[in-house]
Structure 1
Amino acid sequence: MSTVKANLTGAQETLLATLYGRALDSRAKAPVLGDTRAADMVRRIDYDFRRTGLSRGDAAAVALRARQLDAWTADFLAAHPEATVLHLGCGLDTRFERLDPPSGVRWYDIDHPDVIDLRRRLCPPRKGYEMIGSSVADPAWLAGIPADRPAMVVAEGLTMYLTEEQGRWLVPNLVDHFPGGGRMAFDVFSRFGIRLQKLNTPVRRAGATLHWGVDDGSELERLAPRLHCVAELTYLDVEGYEKLPLRYRFLLRAVFLVPGVRRTGRLLLYRF
């Protein structure tokens, strides 16, 4: 099997930590997500994944986040088998393969050109699936997306790398682009979580910088009148939390007793 060099830096390099987290989880005795394709990719990529500094507990948390976003996406596609899916900041996520959407779904994976170049070397083409090499903050890519179907917008580990200005442009423009409505699901850090970024090992080691913090789901409702928050979960609230390693669960519960820490990272679901 030929290897592929990953020449990524900064925010783009952190996607390798996310990939590695899912790979480590897939090797666990009781995996949270069980993403064996992530493990296959890790074997093919020429990169020292020890650099990410991920622990077993970190890997399980990464898998738990992906599992919840998968569930929200799958629920939407079950109700809308001919929807459009925008997977923003897709990195090397295998969400399309994990969910295996109905044949009528149009699925777009969007990320920076260097990430998509790497992705094309690792992911085979599939019918109904397209990769777009662009910053999600560039208006050009969105203008090229058909707006004739309900849309599921999903993003994992993206919002905190956007500037506040980029985020405040992106959210209402996504909503306005799809008159037929849809859902939007993603994770956020609070402003306090952004201030704690030096404690985030993968971010620190990649030399990346976090920018945009969201303290409450209602903040984004004010950006777009059609946008309504229908779920806001901390990691203690996510289904499957009990599958995390016992030591990591105790650690999370202890840390989350500190005021402000419980809501540093959350998963949000909106309808529009």
Structure 2
Amino acid sequence: MSANTPVLAAVPSTLRIPLAARALGGTLFPQMAVEDRHAAAALARLGDDGQQWLKDPQSVYGTLARTQRFRDQARDFVAAHPSAHIANLGCGLSDYLQWIDNGSLRMTDADLPEVMTIRREVMPSEHERHTLSELDLTTPDWWDRLGLPAHRGAEPVFLMSEGVFMYLQPSTVEDILTTFGERASAGSILTFDVMCWLSVGRAKRHTSVKHTDAEFRWGPRKASELAALHPRLRLQGAHQVMGDYSLFYRILQPVFKALTGVPLYAVYTLAIAPDDA
């Protein structure tokens, strides 16, 4: 990294890890490349050549695998709801609009003010249906600040949060899931990735995250606890991100889940049930 690389707070500083994976990860895993049109240029503008992050192939693979998962889920949602509102909570320097835009959806990319300042410099908004917004998920009015539906009868929304929830306090995650359960219309989706509870407090053992000041603060102990926070929440799925990384992971993951109650690392998807369900 050069002297021009911006100095970010602990959690925002982790945005360079997935950015490098999307920009350069295809060199390690050609079959997993996501063909991100903007990542390489954004990484260069940050003064980061990405080589430090490529030394952690597991994280590179995990980023590409979860990106594909989020992308495919968003595409499926847009196919069912062509004019839907899609919101990326803690977007960093990711750009899902390049993969899912159908000409009528509305996209909100949101993150902390310091991240959005950098994003506006290296990745400007693409068109009038694309909104860039400051977001602090620890504030109780985040739903309204993003312009999400004010009533349950509105069209369903798709919310995604990539590489964020594991850095939040448990109470903050609970508040976010409860707000989603209370405010979102039936059929809405919230999808996010997180490691299991054993990762909490162990960021310094992570090959990439240890180079930042971020810490893992939350991970579920049971998948069922996610939907238990509100009666309208339904756990739609828990996709194990690293399943195809290696034979070791394919063998390890079912054993790990049996012992701990949850996957080592997964993308969880919550849906809102109809109010009369």
CA RMSD of aligned residues (A): 2.4
Q: Does the 8 A contact of 1:160 with 1:188 survive in 2?
A: yes
Instruction: In structure 2, give the amino acid aligned to 1:185.
Output: T
The alpha carbon displacement at 1:53 in A equals 6.1
Which amino acid letter does the alignment assign opposite residue 33 of structure 1? V
Alpha carbons 1:53, 1:201 under 8 Å: kept: no
TM-score, with length taken from structure 2: 0.85
> Does residue 9 in structure 1 map to residue 9 in structure 2?
yes
Counterpart CA distance in 2 for 1:12 and 1:270 is: 25
Q: Deviations over 1:12-59 (max 9, x none)?
A: 111111111111224454343222421222122223634446433431
Distance 2:202 2:260 in 1: 12
Paired letter, 1:226: R
Q: Of the candidates 234, 247, 252, which is equivalent to residue 228 of structure 1?
A: 234
Structure 2 equivalent of residue 154 of structure 1: 160
Give the structure 1 partner of residue 43 of structure 2. 42
Asked whether the equivalents of residues 188 and 266 of structure 1 are also in contact (C-alpha less than 8 Å), the reply is yes
Q: CA deviation at 1:267?
A: 1.2
Alignment of 1:26-105 (within 5 A): 26-28=26-28, 29-47=30-48, 49-52=50-53, 54-99=55-100, 101-105=101-105
Q: Give, as a single letter, the amino acid of the residue that structure 1 aligns with 2:229.
A: L
* 1:129 is aligned to 2:135: no
**Structure 1 residues 78-87 or 262-271, which shifts more?**
262-271
The answer to whether the 8 Å contact 1:85/1:151 transfers is: yes
**Cα deviation, residue 235, structure 1:** 2.5
Alignment-mate amino acid for residue 46 of structure 2: I
SS of the equivalent of 1:8 reads coil
Q: Which runs of 5+ in 1 are unaligned?
A: none
Instruction: Please give the alpha-carbon distance, in whole angstroms, between the structure 2 residues aligned to 1:4 and 1:97.
Output: 27
Q: Which residue number in structure 2 is paired with residue 203 of structure 1?
A: 209
| Misfit runs of 4+, over 6 Å | none
Paired AA for residue 18 in structure 1: P
| Identity between Structure 1 and Structure 2 (%) | 23
Specify the code of the residue in structure 2 equivalent to 1:22.
R
One-letter amino acid of the structure 2 residue matched with residue 192 of structure 1: L
Contact kept? 1:113, 1:133, Cα under 8 Å = yes
- In structure 1, distance between residues paired with 2:123 and 2:99: 13
Say yes or no: does 1:252 pair with 2:253: no
Task: Name the TM-score, length of structure 1 as normaliser.
Answer: 0.86
Higher relative contact order (CA 8 A, sep 6+): 1
3-state SS of 1:108 partner? strand
Aligned residues: 260
